Amino acid sequence: MSGEHAKWIFLPDLGRGEGCMGSDNVLFASADNPAKNAALEYDVDLSENGEIALGILPTQDVNPTRGLRIALQLDDADIKVIDARQGLHDEFGEYTPGNLAMSKSLKALPEPSGLLLSGWMNGRRLIRRDEVFDNMRWLKAKFDTTPGRHKLRVIMVDPEIVLQQIVVNPDNNHYSYFGANKSTK
């Protein structure tokens, strides 16, 4: 579904799979009314935990006063805007407590997702598992909903976000590097 100013387009040969979904207009950004923005729609079957993991390509925090954002909507519920800096690798130490205290605009990083997909096991990050080495940053969203079939909308907020993979009901009990196994018939 296209938005007022941009639409999702397939970017072949980018990321771990056959390609990714990105914006056709990288100058567009509108958080004022995400309901009017471009959206991808999926029929999903959620378990009782109501979790969805989004794998995005790593990107710089080009707007540290608010962070980068992407939004999700389940059925007709309110739109949930997610800070896409979950799991950001702070290579240059910009987000130290001292820098955050001195800055009038720098926004603290959100807590990492804690997903095994992003290299977290027993509360600790596995060696050499971060967005730089993996070429993917995992974002987690949780919905309070009933288990079963739902309509998921992935809504573009900031055009710098490139969506690589969606994992519905991520299994945090079994280690996985690529996400859920693809069933073969």
Check if the beta carbon of residue 46 is closer than 8 Å to that of residue 150: yes
Tell me the percentage of the chain whose pLDDT exceeds 90. 29
Q: Name the residue range of residue 100's domain.
A: 8-168
Structural tokens at position 114 = 């804690």
Domain for residue 157, yes or no? yes
132, part of any domain: yes
If you average pLDDT over residues 47-69, what whole number do you get? 84
d(CA 51, CA 6): 27
Q: What is the pLDDT of residues 139-151, one digit of tens each?
A: 999 999 899 999 9
Could you tell me if residue 41 is inside a domain? yes
What CATH number should be reported for the domain holding residue 83? Answer: 2.60.120.1620
146 belongs to a structural domain: yes
Q: Please report whether residue 40 resides in a domain.
A: yes
Residue for token digits 């009017």? 36
Q: In 3-state terms, the chain is what percent helix, strand and coil (to 5)? A: 10, 30, 60
- Residue in 124, 106, 158, 161 with CA at minimum distance from that of residue 139: 161
**Gap between the Cα atoms of 54 and 52, Å rounded:** 7
Q: How many whole angstroms from its chain centre is CA 62?
A: 16
| 8/31: higher pLDDT | 8
How many domains would you assign to the chain?
1
Span 99-135, pLDDT tens digits: 999 988 888 888 877 787 777 777 777 777 777 667 7
**Number of CB atoms found within 10 A of residue 111's CB:** 10
The model's pTM is: 0.82
